[in-house]
């Protein structure tokens, strides 16, 4: 239980300042870094969890400023997420990664793509992938050009646009490799 609103509710209030978007990004990525690197309790091995449903609805914001990731209901351990999907795509179509939409094995970079979509929307004040059906949204995610946030909304800092585009690389080998690599070392709790 978090006394506050979700990110959807905050976005409904209007444009967010760039420092607030950066704060939210760092906090979301810090939480994902922890989940992705979650260790097995009795051993030194890393187990990790891939959320698979990152969206503004699942980011909770307390009135005191805490940022929490919720709804790990379809999350998978990193070991089991490397198993090909059952044929059923899970997650919200507007926030799926290309590999998730294609039923490929997942790792934390899939969640990072979803965070990239959320950040793009926070900065550009509109959905990144639009469509009347889930299939149309997935088609846009797979094939439509992705504009830099600074091209869509003048005033968005170029370095922030580069961070977002790094998260939105369709080829996961080209995507930001992990949450800790998104922002410079020492930033507000992002684990290194």
The residues that are catalytic are 53
Alpha carbon distances (Å) from 34 to 29, 73, 133, 179, 180? 9, 17, 34, 9, 10
Q: Assign 100 to helix, strand or coil.
A: helix
Residue 5's alpha-carbon distances to 11, 27, 61, 77, 107, in angstroms, are: 10, 15, 5, 28, 28
| Residue tagged 């990664």 (tokens) | 97
Contacts of 144 (CB under 8 A, 6+ apart): 129
């Amino acid at each position: 239980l978090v006394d506050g609103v979700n990110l959807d509710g905050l976005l409904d209030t209007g444009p967010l300042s760039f420092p607030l978007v950066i704060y939210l990004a760092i906090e979301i990525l810090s939480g994902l870094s922890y989940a992705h690197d979650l260790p097995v309790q009795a051993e030194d091995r890393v187990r990790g969890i891939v959320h698979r449903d990152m969206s503004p609805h699942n980011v909770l914001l307390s009135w005191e400023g805490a940022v929490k990731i919720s709804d790990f209901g379809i999350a998978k351990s990193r070991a089991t997420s490397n198993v090909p999907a059952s044929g059923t795509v899970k997650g919200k179509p507007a926030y799926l990664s290309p590999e998730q939409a294609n039923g490929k094995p997942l790792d934390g970079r899939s969640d990072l793509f979803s965070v990239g979509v959320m950040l793009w929307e926070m900065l550009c004040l509109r959905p990144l992938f639009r469509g009347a059906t889930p299939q149309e949204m997935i088609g846009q995610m797979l094939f439509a050009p992705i504009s830099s946030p600074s091209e869509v909304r003048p005033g968005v800092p170029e370095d922030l646009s580069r961070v977002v585009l790094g998260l939105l690389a369709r080829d996961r080998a080209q995507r930001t490799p992990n949450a800790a690599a998104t922002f410079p070392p020492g930033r507000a709790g992002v684990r290194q």
